[in-house]
């Protein structure tokens, strides 16, 4: 039995039932494997959940790597990348996995499932910010800091709302409205008057 089949079954169960509501026996039954087979590959539920999170992260990276190249304007490339990051992060399975990660932090202790460092998704975002800075589309400054603020405003805020049970971003059009409104504020500023 391939580990990926177990991971896909576990992903579905964790996302639907939560961490506490999913047992290794249920995972085994869901993927049609024996319990011993699951335990040989994943010796505990925590190890299995960490594998599920790692698989989800790698899938997100692969999805971003497959994005069609946006030619020309580096600001448009940055906008396109951020919008795709928002779409990926707002997928219901990912929201459920993030909710589990935060709610079960005690179970995972300090070494909980987090993206590998350095995170290739953040590296791609930082690189894209840097390209926009080189052309003067974004002001000079710490590209990493700018990328962190962009990801927080554009992605983390709606993701957190969804994790907390808000239905404010359930529809794609609501996600896009948030994105375009926030992008406009970030790129154009919110002040009507110049502040010195």
Structural domain includes residue 122:
yes
- Residue 64 in any domain: the answer is no
Residue 107 resides in a domain: yes
Evaluate whether residue 83 is within a structural domain. yes
Q: Which domain holds residue 95?
A: 72-188
pLDDT score of 51: 92
Q: What is the pTM of this model?
A: 0.81
Burial of 138 (0-12, 13-18, 19+ CB in 10 A): buried
Distance of CA 51 to the CA centre of its chain: 15
Q: Residue 53 domain-assigned?
A: no
176 assigned to some structural domain: yes
| Burial bucket for residue 30 (CB in 10 Å: 0-12, 13-18, 19+) | middle
Would you write out the chain's pLDDT as a tens digit for each of its 196 residues?
A: 589 999 999 999 999 999 999 999 999 999 999 999 999 999 999 999 989 988 998 888 888 888 777 677 899 989 999 999 999 999 988 898 888 887 776 566 555 445 556 788 889 899 999 999 999 999 899 999 999 999 999 999 999 999 999 999 999 999 999 999 999 999 888 667 655 5
Residue 29 lies in a domain: no
For residue 39, being part of any structural domain is answered with no
């Amino acid at each position: 039995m391939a580990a990926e089949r177990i991971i896909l079954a576990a992903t579905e169960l964790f996302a639907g039932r939560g961490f506490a509501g999913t047992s290794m026996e249920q995972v085994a039954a869901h993927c049609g494997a024996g319990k011993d087979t699951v335990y040989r590959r994943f010796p505990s539920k925590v190890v299995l959940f960490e594998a599920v999170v790692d698989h989800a992260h790698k899938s997100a990276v692969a999805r971003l790597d497959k994005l069609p190249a946006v030619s020309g304007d580096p600001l448009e490339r940055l906008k396109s990348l951020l919008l795709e990051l928002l779409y990926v992060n707002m997928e219901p399975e990912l929201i459920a996995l993030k909710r589990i990660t935060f709610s079960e932090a005690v179970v995972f202790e300090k070494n909980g499932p987090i993206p590998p460092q350095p995170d290739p998704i953040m590296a791609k975002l930082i690189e894209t910010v840097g390209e926009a800075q080189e052309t003067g589309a974004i002001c000079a400054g710490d590209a990493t800091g700018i990328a962190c603020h962009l990801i927080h405003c554009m992605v983390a805020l709606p993701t957190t709302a969804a994790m907390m049970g808000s239905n404010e971003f359930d529809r794609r059009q609501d996600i896009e409205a948030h994105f375009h409104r926030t992008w406009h504020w970030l790129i154009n500023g919110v002040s009507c008057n110049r502040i010195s």
